Structure formats: C-alpha cells, structure tokens
Copies of this chain bind each other. A is one copy, B any other.
Amino acid sequence: MATGRTHRPATRSRGIPEATVARLPLYLRALTALSERSVPTVSSEELAAAAGVNSAKLRKDFSYLGSYGTRGVGYDVEYLVYQISRELGLTQDWPVVIVGIGNLGAALANYGGFASRGFRVAALIDADPAMAGKPVAGIPVQHTDELETIIRDNGVSIGVIATPAGAAQQVCDRLVAAGVTSILNFAPTVLTVPDGVDVRKVDLSIELQILAFHEQRKAGEEAAAGVAADRAAGPARSAAVAGREDSATDQGPDGDVPAVMPA
C-alpha cells in the first residue's frame, strides 16, 4: 500500500473503500488491454486473473460502483472502461506540474503513462537557473520563481515533487499555498500538509528495504543450520536493557533470535 496520507476518515470516500480505489487503476489497465484487442465481454474470473487479484474481490469491488455485470455473461468491456474512468475522474484532463527536473523528474516527464490517460504535464519546474528554458520531453523547464503563476494560470491541483529531500517540504508548502491539493512525493521525506491535501509517497529505498527484509528471512530459513545464540553484539547499549529474556509475554518463547545469514 502506498502510504503517506494526511489522516482523514481515510476510507469512506463516497462509499468506495480505499482498498478498492487503489485497485481500480489495475482493473482499468487490464480492461484497456482487452478493449484494444476488441474483446467485447469478460468474466470476473478472467479479468481478475489479468489484474492479479481474487475474483471475489474484484466482484465486490465492482459492486461498490454499481451492478455493471450481466449474470451468465460477464462484464461489458467498453462500458466498464468508461465507468471506471469516470469514477477515477479520468474523463477530464488533470494538469500536473513536476517540480525538480533531475534524473527522476526527467524520467517522469518522459513517462508515457502520464499523458496517455487523464493527465497532462502542464509544466516542469526546477530551482536551477541553468535549467530554465531547456526542453525536457519537449517541454521547456521553468524556474521555481514562476511556480505560483503556473499553478494559478493552469488551474493545477496535482503536483509531483521530485526534488532532493531537503527542498521537498518547502516546495510542498509553496504548491499548497498556490492551490495544489494533491501531491505525489518522490522525495524521501515525510511531508506535512494541512487538512484537505492528499499526499501519496513513492519511496524507492523503502521498497528495497522491505524486499531486503523478506530476502533475509528467506536466507535465514534455508540456513537453519546451527544458528542459536550468536545474536550480534552491535553498538554497546547505553541505557539499561532490563528484563529482555524473561519478559516473554505471548510473543512466543523464541524471543527474537534473528536466524540471520552467517555470511
């Protein structure tokens, strides 16, 4: 799950659960592919397989949108594409600004997925004066000074932050002050925003670290050889450790033997 949302009732969004909303783009992608192959209808089973989810879950998800299927037949592909697009608000074009045109910002600007479906890169913004005017992905980079003007003139409500971590909060504040109410943050920082502003975070190193955790666990399971009490020493604990070994509550008697790779 993508994370980083400024708390709010969180789930209830016109009745559609957050988890369902997060899957709608997945369904939409699968449906678009079917549409391009001129497939007229699809069953929940087929579509679920294409989207990589459980078919019951898919049916329940669609039930929040309404009864768009036909029993005994399945779902009409074109109709469903339209309904989901409308639900996600992709029948209109959202102008988006990307702030921070480094390697990542440039990659984002060139990313076809933006322009293709519902989004339009309204402007690229960077703090480096040397970048100003230089075209990236066919769009000239503009200086940060013009941020407010760009936001207001284009009616931008979605901003993408691809700056270094140090600049992210400041950029965020300016975006919000200028009227942006949804932010996609690539900078490795926790952004603080006022109520009513949505933030979604994409963090590469966090994803990698989660993978590393599972990878380590896998390695530890295999190497279930003689690993018992070689718990790493690490830096000396400055404060007291207190009753660790005997404070086993209900977590299981194994405590926290890491079973880490001996390597």
Task: Tell me if A228 counts as interface (CB < 8 A to partner B).
Answer: no
Question: CB-CB contacts of A145-184 with B at 8 A, as 1s and 0s?
Answer: 0000000000001100000000000000000000001111
Q: How far does the alpha carbon of A216 sit from the alpha carbon of B235 in the complex, in Å?
A: 51
- Are A66 and B256 neighbours in the complex by a CB distance under 8 Å? yes
Please give, as numbers and ranges, the residues of chain B lying within 8 Å of A141 by CB-CB distance. none
Count class of interface residues, chain A: 35 or more
Nearest CB to that of A3 among chain B residues? B1
Task: Tell me if A88 counts as interface (CB < 8 A to partner B).
Answer: yes
Number of copies: 2
Contact of A113 among B87, B158, B188, B258 (CB under 8 A): B188
A window 63-91: CB within 8 A of B: 64-67, 70, 73, 76, 78-79, 82-83, 86-91
A sample of 14 more A-B contacts (CB under 8 A), given A1-B1, A117-B205, is A14-B220, A25-B206, A76-B237, A79-B237, A79-B238, A79-B239, A86-B258, A89-B217, A90-B212, A104-B111, A106-B107, A158-B208, A182-B214, A198-B215
| Complex A-B: 22 CB contacts under 8 Å | A2-B210, A4-B52, A15-B254, A24-B213, A25-B203, A25-B206, A29-B188, A65-B256, A67-B247, A86-B258, A89-B217, A90-B209, A102-B107, A111-B204, A114-B204, A118-B208, A157-B219, A158-B208, A158-B212, A182-B211, A198-B214, A202-B202
